[in-house]
Amino acid sequence: MEKIKMKTPIVEMDGDEMTRILWKIIKDELICPYIDLKSEYYDLGLANRNATNDQVTIDSANANKKYGVAVKCATITPNAARMTEYDLKEMWKSPNGTIRAILDGTVFRAPITVKGIEPYVRTWKKPITIARHAYGDVYKNVEIDVPGPGKAELVFTGEDGEELRETVFDFKGPGVLQGMHNIDKSIASFARSCFNYALDTKQDLWFATKDTISKKYDHTFKDIFQEIFDAEYKERFEKAGIVYFYTLIDDAVARVMKSEGGFIWACKNYDGDVMSDMISSAFGSLAMMTSVLVSPDGKYEYEAAHGTVQRHYYKYLKGEETSTNSVATIFAWTGALRKRGELDDIPELMRFSDRLEKAVIATIESGKMTKDLALITSLPDVTVLNSEDFIKAVRATYEML
């Protein structure tokens, strides 16, 4: 059989530890036998980030901007322990943070659903995709431990010297104080990424804040979303038969619980942090969550939501058998290849991605899965496979479809 030809290269960002091991097996078993893979390869493994003073991360993000579509392996975000483990020159920043800042993108996370791994919420029939605004609010706050009585004020001094001033509180005794900000430009980028992704995936978009209490701060989020929707997206949403729905955050939470799923839930930074963990654990497994970074001008970076699965890697290094779930990483590849197929008008590439995803799901539904899923499945006859054998089983299923 002839391999599928590509036009534009995919930006390939390799990573660390167990996911780096899976990466190679996935390519060897599931991608390269079927596709004449055109990729521009960047090694974001920590050793190479350190060797290049992290320039490789910046280069890979710029390549993502240039070509439009990237697929990324999980990477280590260095901490004190990693400094010694990898003999690092510096505590390099999280690659995801660097890439996100360069693309000015929003992260969309969605669970991969299969029969036999039922969500804990009975009404959920379809995946719920969470979009988290990744700038500002409490993540860029300033705080003061108030020592005792005194007046707290919020002051803005314009470049022209003009002053805006509000009393926050007249303290009679000790307390705490916090200042937060966000910027219209970032909120607008977030809104456009969400509207674009909703159109892209033909799903309704929900957005919620606490604008009744926060009449300026949260209300600005609501207003910017609405203005951009009315001016740029309303007609396109109508044509696509999808809806933009705004409500209060507490109402959204209640509705999500009673919903059937199948929509995108856009969240402010903190809400998204909290709710994405709730959604992923309620759908069953972090190993079954995909993640895609979407920029407001339509650049995409696909990856798994989980990390490098360090504990499994240390077992692997000792020569022990591992049973690490590669599903989200395989879906990162299919997501990226499908998008490349869409952009370059290569229907075979889109069909390949659909078929490979079907093969993954059929393999699990036939009872062949990794240990993490075997522990939570409701399927009766389960065969637990090791990391490599699961990927080989997917290939066998793919060949049969």
Residues making contact with Mg ion (CB under 5 A)? 273
Per CB under 6 A, does 307 bind ligand NAP?
yes
Minimum CB separation of residue 33 from Mg ion in Å reads: 37
Tokens 């939570």 sit on residue: 376
User: Is 209 a residue that touches ligand NAP (CB under 6 A)?
Assistant: no
Contact between residue 209 and residue 221 where contact means Cβ atoms under 8 Å apart:
yes
Burial 22-61 (b: 16+ CB within 10 A, else e): bbebbbebbbeebbebebbebbbbbeebbebebebbbebb
Half-sphere exposure of 264 (CA within 13 A, CB side): 27
Select from 47, 34, 43 the least CA-distant residue to 12.
43
Please identify, using beta-carbon distances, which residue of 74 and 208 lies nearer to ligand NAP. 74
Binding letters toward ligand NAP, positions 310-329, x by CB under 6 A: xx------------xx----
Tokens describing residue 182: 């966000």
With contacts defined by CB under 6 A, name the span among 74-82, 125-133, 170-178, 358-366 that binds ligand NAP.
74-82
Closest residue to Mg ion, Cβ-based? Answer: 273
Residue 48 binds which entry of Mg ion, ligand NAP, none, with Cβ cut-offs from 5 to 8 Å by kind?
A: none
Of 335 and 341, which CB lies nearer to ligand NAP in the complex structure? Answer: 335
- Which 3 state secondary structure label does DSSP give 299? coil
Interaction partner, residue 281 (Mg ion, ligand NAP, none; CB < 5-8 Å by kind):
none
Cα dihedral 13, 18, 19, 24 sign: positive
Q: Which does 74 bind (CB under 5 to 8 A by kind): Mg ion, ligand NAP, none?
A: ligand NAP
Cα gap 129→263, rounded to integer Å = 6
Buried b (16+ CB within 10 A) or exposed e, 112-147: bbbebbebebeebeebbbbbbbbbbbeeeeeeeeee
Write the interaction track for ligand NAP spanning residues 364-393; mark x where CB under 6 A is met and - where it is not: --------x---------------------
Residue entry with tokens 């033909």: 202
Number of H helices, E strands in the chain: 15, 18
Stretch that binds ligand NAP, among 58-66, 85-93, 163-171, 308-316 (CB under 6 A): 308-316
Among 76, 112, 187, 292, indicate the residue that binds ligand NAP (CB under 6 A). 76
The listed partner (Mg ion, ligand NAP, none) that binds 204, CB under 5 to 8 Å by sort, is none
The binder of ligand NAP chosen from 30, 71, 74, 346 (CB under 6 A):
74
Give the one residue of 128, 287, 337, 385 binding ligand NAP; rule: CB under 6 A: 287
CB of 289 to Mg ion, least distance (A): 13
Shortest spacing between CB 77 and ligand NAP, in angstroms? 4
Nearer to ligand NAP, 175 or 307 (CB): 307
Residue (of 337, 356, 357) closest to 347 by Cα position? 337
Quick one: what does residue 273 bind among Mg ion, ligand NAP, none, with the CB cut-off 5 to 8 Å set by partner type? Answer: Mg ion
Residue with nearest beta carbon to ligand NAP: 307
Q: What is the DSSP string of 282-295?
A: HTS-GGGEEEEEE-
Dist. CA 288–CA 307, nearest whole Å: 12
One-letter amino acid at 125 equals K
The yes or no reply on residue 77 touching ligand NAP (CB under 6 A) is yes
Strands (E), 65-128: 69-72, 106-111
State how far the Cα of 68 lies from the Cα of 336, in Å rounded to an integer.
10
Length of the chain in terms of residues written: 401
Of 309, 332, 349, 394, which one interacts with ligand NAP (CB under 6 A)?
309
- Residue 153 CB burial class (10 angstroms; 0-12, 13-18, ≥19): exposed
Q: Does 306 bind ligand NAP (CB under 6 A)?
A: yes
What's the closest the beta carbon of residue 22 comes to ligand NAP, in angstroms?
8
List residues binding ligand NAP (CB under 6 A).
74-77, 96, 286-287, 303, 306-311, 324-325, 372
